[in-house]
Structure 1
Amino acid sequence: MGPASGRGRARMSPFCHARAVLLLLLAMAMVMAAEQGGEKSCDLVGDKDKESKTEKDLLKKLGPLMGARFHTDVVSGTENYTYEFRVCREVSSALAESGVVQTNGKTQKKTVIGRINETQIINGSDWILLIYKGGDSYGSHCLYEKRKALIMISCNRKARNDSFTMAWEERNKEQECFYLFEMDSSVACPPEDSHLSIGSILLITFSSVIAVYIVGGFLYQRLVVGAKGMEQFPHFAFWQDLGNLVADGCDFVCRSKPRNAPAAYRGVGDDQLALALPAPSQQGCSAQLHEAGAGSSLPAACLFLAAA
């Protein structure tokens, strides 16, 4: 039994080794499939260890746009084209590293304008310029050089995803031809200044003091003094008097009509006129009448006395 069992173990040993190798190959295949299954991202121009930190930071700033797709339709004469664009993602897995793809509306031919494995990025105060190089070569323009896409992303805090448009194509020179696209996005905007102005600080402070005064005074009047109703309001009598004084001041300053209307006009009666004049004697009036003669004028008091 001993030698036989030893020979059995010797025959099983190659099988175990083969199974171990098979499992190792299967694990490697799974790792490679997982790596290929993940979406590719932008690869900046230059060696990996010499890439610009500024460009890396700008790519992180574009992170909110990396899950979206943008497209625009362009009509040129009898031709119409559709341009599709993704930020640091492949437009189509069938077109390797494709960042911007042109589709001919008639022939449905697809042309890669720029690839994400040759990316450059530049920024300004309120814009970001994303450049995809390494597109398909021109057929008869620009000395057959490879196409290049320039995407100008401008600051707009209220932008929507339909703002992607094609500005123009430069292909009438021998070198450095390009396609220029434009779009708006909030990712290109500078950080907002969150500092409060002096007026805002004073307003917040004043509002806080008023709130503490009302709430604290209300609790004190209710819990300590035992006031009820409107008396719970702090310094209720003072504010009531102040309101009355303000109302009186407004009434005095703002009213256009006088407060007391003048008395109505009344004529002077004969009895009042007689009382206002000196009262001459009967003998005096008779003497004046005798001296003046007929047709002469007499004092009003004498005339009133004669009429009486």
Structure 2
Amino acid sequence: MTLKWNDRQERRITWALLSSLVLMLSVVMVPVLTEETNNNKLKCDLLGDEEEESNRERELLQKLTPLTSLSFSTDVQEGQKKYTYKFKVCGAAGNDTNGGLVQTEVDKETVIGRFNETHIYNGTDWIMLVYKQGDKYNNHCSKEERTAMVMISCLTGTLGKNFHFIGEERGKEKNCFYLFEMDSSIACPKVDSHLSLGSILLIVFFSLVAVYIIVGFLYQRLVVGAKGMEQYPNYSFWKDLGNLTADGCDFVCRSKPRNEPAAYRGIGDDQLGEETEERDDHLLPM
């Protein structure tokens, strides 16, 4: 049975294959682009003089760059009082120029930590961002300056959310702090994804197969002038190969020989025993 294609269908198939070829070549031939390094200057100022800042802290701050465009807030009810905490990464969260984390109660704003005195460190799947030099306590912690600590935990698939207040440690004479937590994929460890040799070989193989089919089709269509199924490259060869493969599979996988006699056969005359000749001479009159 032969397939009959009209000119419109053939033109659609031709354009589809041309588009696929262009797209595939653009993917295969475009050189791999290296990841661009973000050199944006953050407003955060690490503790100590600039020459004393560690490269590790600078790298961690640079890692937080995508969060600088976001603002976070959370409400906390303590007895009759309601506080709102606002937080920004290396940016002003309230009216204070350097106030990276502030507490508001009605119209009163208290700076919990300033980003011009920043300390940062990390673990496997978390980053701790510390803002120091907040407003001083009135009666607690020897009236020292407040400190805000924000634990950024790993959560894949999100840039930043779930910012909330954990608690305040102010029962000590010194080193009191406010503790917050939030989730972000920024804190997740990098997963190095390298293609194995087998994956590379498969990609190359299927790319060559696709090029062979598309280029061969265009050659048969535009140069040879083939129509219908004959436009596929080496159509007769692949057709014969498919038939031979089917025959080989049939020969190898068949559960019984092709010419084996059936298990049940009818009884023929040649299988019947010889009948004894009946004598009827005793029936004749004497």
The residue identity in structure 2 corresponding to 1:55 is E
Aligned partner of 2:236 in structure 1 is 237
Deviations for 1:138-187, whole angstroms, at most 9, x for unmatched residues?
23332222211111222333125432122232222222111111112233
Aligned partner of 1:57 in structure 2 is 59
Deviations for 1:34-83, whole angstroms, at most 9, x for unmatched residues?
xxxxxx93222223454334333333332222222101122345543221
Structure 2 residue matching 1:147: 3-state secondary structure? coil
The residue identity in structure 1 corresponding to 2:277 is C
Aligned partner of 2:100 in structure 1 is 99
Aligned partner of 1:46 in structure 2 is 48
Report the CA distance between 1:134 and its aligned residue.
1.1
1:104-143 alignment to 2 at 5 Å?
104=105, 108-143=107-142
Aligned partner of 1:302 in structure 2 is 277
Structure 1 residue matching 2:161: 3-state secondary structure? coil
User: Matched residues in 1 for 2:97 and 2:225: separation?
Assistant: 82
More contact order relative to length (CA 8 Å, sep ≥ 6): 2
1:1-308 alignment to 2 at 5 Å?
41-93=43-95, 95-104=96-105, 108-222=107-221, 225-248=224-247, 265=266, 276-277=273-274, 301-303=276-278
User: Matched residues in 2 for 1:304 and 1:229: separation?
Assistant: 80
**CA pair 304-194 structure 1, distance change in 2 beyond 3 A:** farther
Report the CA distance between 1:98 and its aligned residue.
1.3
Report the CA distance between 1:254 and its aligned residue.
6.8
Report the CA distance between 1:85 and its aligned residue.
0.5
Deviations for 1:215-255, whole angstroms, at most 9, x for unmatched residues?
33334444565543322322222321232344445556778
Report the CA distance between 1:303 and its aligned residue.
2.4
Q: 118-127 vs 46-55, which deviates more?
A: 46-55
- Give the length in aligned residue pairs: 240
Larger radius of gyration: 1
- Show structure 1 runs of 5+ residues with no match: 1-39, 278-299
User: Matched residues in 2 for 1:188 and 1:307: separation?
Assistant: 117
Q: Contact between 2:146 and 2:176, CA under 8 Å: does it hold in 1?
A: yes
Aligned partner of 1:288 in structure 2 is none
Q: Contact between 2:72 and 2:86, CA under 8 Å: does it hold in 1?
A: yes
User: Matched residues in 1 for 2:201 and 2:129: separation?
Assistant: 44
**CA pair 128-306 structure 1, distance change in 2 beyond 3 A:** farther
Structure 1 residue matching 2:276: 3-state secondary structure? helix
The residue identity in structure 1 corresponding to 2:70 is A
**CA pair 264-41 structure 1, distance change in 2 beyond 3 A:** same
Structure 2 residue matching 1:303: 3-state secondary structure? coil
Q: Contact between 2:75 and 2:84, CA under 8 Å: does it hold in 1?
A: yes
User: Matched residues in 2 for 1:255 and 1:112: separation?
Assistant: 83
Q: TM-score, normalised by structure 2?
A: 0.68
Structure 1 residue matching 2:157: 3-state secondary structure? coil
Q: 170-179 vs 53-62, which deviates more?
A: 53-62
Structure 2 residue matching 1:72: 3-state secondary structure? strand
**CA pair 304-73 structure 1, distance change in 2 beyond 3 A:** farther
The residue identity in structure 1 corresponding to 2:76 is V
User: Matched residues in 2 for 1:134 and 1:167: separation?
Assistant: 20
Structure 2 residue matching 1:164: 3-state secondary structure? strand
Deviations for 1:102-149, whole angstroms, at most 9, x for unmatched residues?
223xx5533221112211122334432211111122233322222111
Root-mean-square deviation (CA, aligned residues, Å) is 3.5
Q: Return the structure number with greater helix share.
A: 1
Structure 1 residue matching 2:69: 3-state secondary structure? coil
Deviations for 1:280-302, whole angstroms, at most 9, x for unmatched residues?
xxxxxxxxxxxxxxxxxxxx513
The residue identity in structure 2 corresponding to 1:61 is K
Report the CA distance between 1:207 and its aligned residue.
0.5
Q: TM-score, normalised by structure 1?
A: 0.64
Deviations for 1:78-100, whole angstroms, at most 9, x for unmatched residues?
5432211011111222x352111
